[in-house]
Amino acid sequence: MSTFFSAREQAERDRALRGQIESSSLPAVVEPSPAAPVREPGPTPATGAVDGADEHLVSLLTPTSFAAEQYRGLRHLVEQFHKSARLSVLAVSSPASGDGKTTTAINLAGALAQAPEARVLLVDLDLRRGSVREHLGLGGRQSPGLVDAILKPALALEDVTQLCPSFNLSVVLAGRSPATHYELLKSPRLGELLGEARHRYDYVLLDTPPVVVVPDCRVIEKWVDGFLLVVAARKTPRKLLEEALTVMDPAKILGLVFNGEDRPLSLYYGGAEYYGEADGRLARGAGIARWLQWAKRGGDALRRQRSRRGP
């Protein structure tokens, strides 16, 4: 009996040992690791934006120059409209292409962004020939832009916004080139995006297509508080300017920016030494003196319109 029990016990030991071996050969159960934190979508830092920027962006590259000072003068007027007439969404256009509207829009945005507390958004709304990306020298791959946010409602405004920390500036590029510019600009989705921008930022600067060439500015007029028309010195035909002023709502035209004029610095505050400009000439992009009177009339009309409409 003892032999039998010894054999049985040995068999049981063998079975137990085989079970241990088989269980040890099974893959180990791995505890699931905690999920990696999901990054909230938001503005992405822009690459470039300094080295490759257009040299005419004086508000960004040479903020102490005389030309940059002219944009600060324009900034002051816009700030006054912002306080008195609640102007937030400002479109910059021109009678025709090549008048300097994009350069003016970026320089004005840069001047406004120099205030540390200011929240400024620059939007490339020229869906046909947007060039803000090239002017700012933004490198890297093509990122989603305004067109993408209009076509894909799942994309929020912050998903297509790029940050330029060096300039305290946020930028929305045009994005892909659409086939139906007019329909996109009429889309209620664009109104939603601009409405969101109005609440998030103090100033929203729109670089828009030329007024006379295409109807785009008239389409977006209902979402814009005011327009600046850029006129190129010795270039913009008077008849074209008159046509541009005719097709737009006069109450929303804040004024004209006379762009590309050269004047001797000796006419201003003691000459070149005051601003450190050795050549004594004014760089492109200034000449706002003619803008002031028109801007006052446009601003008064805008204030009257807002007072009738109410807050």
Residue 31 lies in a domain: no
Residue 68 lies in a domain: yes
What φ, ψ does residue 294 adopt, rounded to 5°?
A: -65, -40
Two tokens at 175? 């994005």
CB 88 within 8 A of CB 303: no
The range of the structural domain enclosing residue 244 comes to 48-309
Distance (Å, rounded) from C-alpha 247 to C-alpha 162?
A: 33
User: Residue 102 maps to which CATH number?
Assistant: 3.40.50.300
Residue 140 lies in a domain: yes
Residue 297 lies in a domain: yes
Residue 27 lies in a domain: no
Query: Count of domains in the chain?
Result: 1
Three-state SS at 264: strand
CB 92 within 8 A of CB 104: yes
Distance (Å, rounded) from C-alpha 241 to C-alpha 211?
A: 9
Residue 186 lies in a domain: yes
Cα separations in angstroms, 245 against 78, 117, 224, 248: 20, 34, 16, 6
Whole-structure pTM value: 0.70
Residue 12 lies in a domain: no
Residue 18 lies in a domain: no
Of 9, 3, 70, nearest to 263 by C-alpha is 70
pLDDT tens digits for the chain (311 residues)? 333 334 444 445 445 544 543 444 433 333 333 443 333 445 555 544 455 665 566 666 667 777 778 888 888 889 988 888 888 999 999 998 888 898 889 889 989 998 888 999 999 999 887 767 777 877 656 788 999 999 999 999 999 999 887 788 999 998 887 778 888 999 999 999 999 999 999 999 999 999 988 888 889 999 999 999 999 888 888 999 999 999 888 889 998 888 876 655 444 444 444 444 444 333 443 444 334 344 444 445 545 555 555 55
